[in-house]
Chain A
């Protein structure tokens, strides 16, 4: 049935000759680091005439397992959705369940949540830049620069929560462990003394590069009306010119107290998609600066630690601005200790909807960069 959905194989041209198109498979195993994503392309020479994405190679039954788990037991599973930013995933789920439970969040915990989310955003964008340049062919050197900074941020996560990647740090009502003074000092050193200069260094090295400019500047990705119609969210939408950022449009937590700009670029081409991530790193550093200066002392959780939480019946949709887009959690509860329906609205999955429309007419070499720009993580896309 997949092959029935592909574009027409044999095409009759105007002068009566008919040409065949080639169907190739950019299969689930390929040299880029975007995970197991398969794209079945119909090619006309080297231009793409049709594209069908095939997903599900990492479908790990998150929804069904989530219905069996208790509410708190779902928290480590949300870590593994978008495995680059486990903190942001936890945040979204904690928001949804706190809406259902109607409990307040401790003040210091709110600030800690913001600090950790923004650090997570910075390291995700650094990895994005690294893997983008891997895809462009710069064999691993810029990605080593980017991963160096990421390792320092992961050291902080390990000191705070115990694990480098799958942190399982958020609880309903706050976070699980406080940030000690020594760790706060490390965060301050990193933000003030290192990250801004390293971002500038990466910017200086890469943005004016001739190869990047010729491959990415002017290659049109998507325009604003199409992006809204195709439900694209996140940096891809903002690079197309629509200044929609959930932290500013529909603030959650305490984001309305911080002074930051929504990063927006108006050309909608690949170069803008790359530049907007650097803009977002700088805005995140701004938020981090304010959060570090304003964080109060106090308890870190408004509830006592409990293994089974009491959640009244109802539904809630909690969403966060993850570095890839809008990550939403739709939780329906019927009073029992486990959810009745638990659905994750992933950013990557919904962004892939536009992939076919964007890539028709592009060349294969452009397609690789285009796919990298979506910043897809298959753990989130397939759940």
Chain B
């Protein structure tokens, strides 16, 4: 990435010094550093994982975007790339992984199944999209999305990171202890989301009489 892009457009840096000097804001510098090395979590659920792997191979290189380091452990990863169908049995594991990721973290829903259930939407074990539990930043449609589509989606994520400002990001707020903690669902007679406990209790009370 050249320094010219880092510089703000209204400042003119002389030609011979453009590779050495950049005049920029703190936000741009901060975001440039973060978006150029997003480390995905090596997390593949189903068929979309194969296209994710294919996007990392030499033909559609993800290393050009800084995303070649795929960490299996969530403690060192930046981005949760949910690729594949989200099933009710797997949701507690996904949410535990999300909670273990340190801020700043992003969630990308890759494929039709993670965005909205996909072809299996009517299944009794399928959650219609990961956005029922996690806050999703980018949705990538396709079944499976070709590696070119995946790269287009990841570039959108990079553009989104560019727009964030240090003044408003949730991990520098003073009051909130854990801004993005999601409570882990429970596998009972069916999947139970703890955030809807009050609703479930009132519905059960109504049903019982």
Contact = CB atoms under 8 A, between A and B. Distances in A.
Interface in A115-161: 143-144, 147-148, 150-151
A35 B146 CA distance: 19
B64 to A, nearest CB: 15
A64 interface: yes
A61 B123 contact: yes
B126 interface: yes
Interface stretch (A22-30, A95-103, A172-180, A236-244): A22-30
A33 B72 contact: no
A367 interface: no
Contact of A65 (B58, B84, B120): B120
Size class of the contact patch on chain B:
20 to 34
Size class of the contact patch on chain A:
20 to 34
Nearest to B125: A59
B89 interface: yes
Most B-side CB within 10 Å, residue of A68, A83, A148: A83
Contacts of A379: 46-47
Interface string B108-131: 000000000001101111100000
A35 B49 contact: yes
B60 to A, nearest CB: 9
Given A59-B87, A61-B124, A64-B123, A33 B44 contact: yes
A36 interface: yes
A374 interface: no
Nearest to B48: A83
B85 A166 contact: no
Contact of A28 (B46, B93, B126): B93
B53 A59 contact: no
B49 A33 contact: yes
Interface in B161-196: none
B93 A378 contact: no
A60 interface: yes
A358 to B, nearest CB: 25
Given A58-B90, A59-B87, A147-B54, A65 B122 contact: yes
Contacts of A58: 45-46, 84-85, 87, 90
A90 B93 CA distance: 32
A29 B89 CA distance: 13
B13 interface: no
Interface string B57-75: 1110000000000001000
Interface of A: 27-31, 33, 35-36, 56-61, 64-65, 68, 76-77, 80, 83-84, 143-144, 147-148, 150-151, 164-166, 378-379
Interface of B: 42-47, 49-51, 53-54, 57-59, 72, 84-85, 87, 89-90, 93, 97, 119-120, 122-126, 143-144, 146
